[in-house]
Structure 1
């Protein structure tokens, strides 16, 4: 049986460093290439923007009056609107939490 080629510790460490660096480089490249393209911001309709401002004012007023632990209720659909602004509310107020 043949004897294996002897390698000292420095050689083993150098091999592991090269392999780790190559792995990190490949991982970074794959992560960068597979990242989804950022979707363009959709504009908020004027009516939804106004409704969001109204909600912000009511929240600020409740905070100033010390009613931070209370519950504010809002209907999802306003009379005379085609759009209920649900997506805009979720985006603005962080509904994904």
Structure 2
């Protein structure tokens, strides 16, 4: 009866390297294909749009005066029944 052929160390290392490469390629492919869905655009009321436009105007006016080191504070001067804090927060995060 013939003896079974033993695999050498180089063969094991090569097989391990191939399996790791295949795993990395598969992981990269899965990550690329599972991009998050874009968030649906929220409806912003006219009052909030006006308030955000006022804030943008104030920011644009204050930017040349204060430079990048200035602090700008906002206060709401008109009473409002609607809360626009989420919309304002989203605007300020995206404003550059």
Would you call these one fold, judging by a TM-score over 0.5? Answer: yes
Q: Is the 8 A contact 1:77 1:83 kept in 2?
A: no
TM-score, length-scaled by structure 1: 0.64
Between 49-58 and 23-32, the greater mean CA deviation after superposition = 23-32
Unaligned runs of 5+ in 1: none
Structure 1 runs of 4+ with >6 Å offset = none
Q: Determine the C-alpha separation between the residues in 2 that align with 1:77 and 1:37.
A: 38
- CA RMSD across the alignment: 3.2
- Deviation of 1:70 after TM superposition, in Å, equals 3.2
TM-score, length-scaled by structure 2: 0.65
* Equivalent residue, structure 2, for 1:41: 41
Unaligned runs of 5+ in 2: none
